[in-house]
Amino acid sequence: MDGNGRWARKGGLIRLKGHESGTQSVRDIVEAAAEWGVGHLTLYAFSVENWSRPKAEVAALMTLLKKFLKKERETLLKNGIALRGIGRLEDLPSSVLDTLREVEKATAHGKKMTLRLALSYGGRQEITDAVKALCQDVTAGKVQAEEVTEDAIACRLYDSEMPDPDLIIRSAGEKRLSNFLLWEASYAEFVYSDVLWPEFRREHLLQAFQEFHGRVRRFGKVLDDTPSLQGETN
């Protein structure tokens, strides 16, 4: 969800105002996604790298996150949305983590959509943590070396129930992965938008969906209607 700081700077505002305005976009996008039948939505809210930002900004972001969780609890319940956090959640301030866990528990029965907030998240860190857990199981004799497979790693990621994403959207013109879902995104489609996140609304989400539905997804295979190399040379 890129562009909060640039949006604030463009309006002569402090960066926090951009983050605050960005929560309006979160609400609109989450509600639209649930309405349109999206089963799983993951928002990259705070990366492990973000801890290196100025302490005052990090503290303000944690306060904003806690307020957001409390404020949106009823909206999530009303819309049948289950909330889950993924990442190194133990790094969050205890009051924020307690609030997150409370909202997770309250919304756990939601069946319409699962909303995941990536918090203190990093794709490399997720893979590292999964491999550590697997190594511990191998050392303990719970897993044999020949049983170390992709599935064995995948089931030890932060949320083993999260399916691989079909679509990843980047706002504010950014065109890099930025350590997001590195394992899961191996065959995701990417859509880029120049819209700054505080201005990103459901019409922009719809545009991204329309572009996505125009893609042909092969997953490394040759489709039946695609001429083979042999056929082309003949």
CA distances from 227 to 5, 54, 216, 220, 232 (A): 48, 55, 15, 15, 6
Question: pLDDT by residue (tens digit) across 33-84?
Answer: 999 999 999 999 999 999 999 999 999 999 999 999 999 999 999 999 999 9
The ranges of the chain with pLDDT < 70 are 224-234
pLDDT of 225: 60
Token representation of residue 169: 């959207």
pTM > 0.95: no
Question: pLDDT by residue (tens digit) across 10-26?
Answer: 999 999 999 999 999 99
pLDDT of 233: 35
**CATH number 3.40.1180.10 given to 4-212:** yes
Active site residues: 2, 50
